[in-house]
Amino acid sequence: MTEITDAASPQRNRLILPFLAPVYSSLHDLAFTLLRVVAGGTLITHGAGKIVDPFGTVGMVESLGFYPGMLWSPLLAATEFFGGILIVLGLFTRAAAFAAMIVLLVTVWFHWVTLGQGYEGAEKSIIWAAIFAFLAVRGSGAHSVDARLAKTF
């Protein structure tokens, strides 16, 4: 992660308001952690209903062409609920975020193509897919279990 610390650094010199450099530096890791925790928490909330009834979405996943639904429905529930927990904790974040991104890309297809809603219907899924793609690439950040273990995916 790039920090803006040295007064003579090129990063600081590029700021329009260079006196904000210490603020940006001190909040950098916190902002990253906030994004990860909110994204994971939202995924948990979205998956909570599915984890209670893991076979409740069999018909929906089969309508999208994912057969057998008895396999894909609980995988969807686990990806959302347990993947969200892993993302909040910052444990195996890259793998969990990648799985969440795939789920969200399927929902983009579902809303845009299957339901014919176009960008308007898929907009939220696109944003969430981008957030999880970011986390899949960047990992869990400084405030995470992965950082404490000094290991990452």
What residue spans define the domains of the chain? Answer: 35-149
Query: What does the pLDDT read at residue 120?
Result: 96
Handedness of CA 6, 30, 125, 84 (dihedral sign): positive
Is-contact 51 81, C-beta < 8 A? yes
What is the tens place of the pLDDT at every residue in 57-100? 999 999 989 999 999 999 999 999 999 999 999 999 999 999 99
Q: Report the number of secondary-structure helices (H) and strands (E) in the chain.
A: 7, 0
Please state, in angstroms and rounded to a whole number, the distance separating the CA atoms of residues 130 and 133: 5
What number is the average pLDDT over the span 19-35?
94
Please state, in angstroms and rounded to a whole number, the distance separating the CA atoms of residues 45 and 115: 24
Assess whether pLDDT exceeds 50 at residue 29.
yes
Assess whether pLDDT exceeds 80 at residue 3.
no
What confidence tier does 28 reach under pLDDT thresholds 50, 70, 90?
A: very high
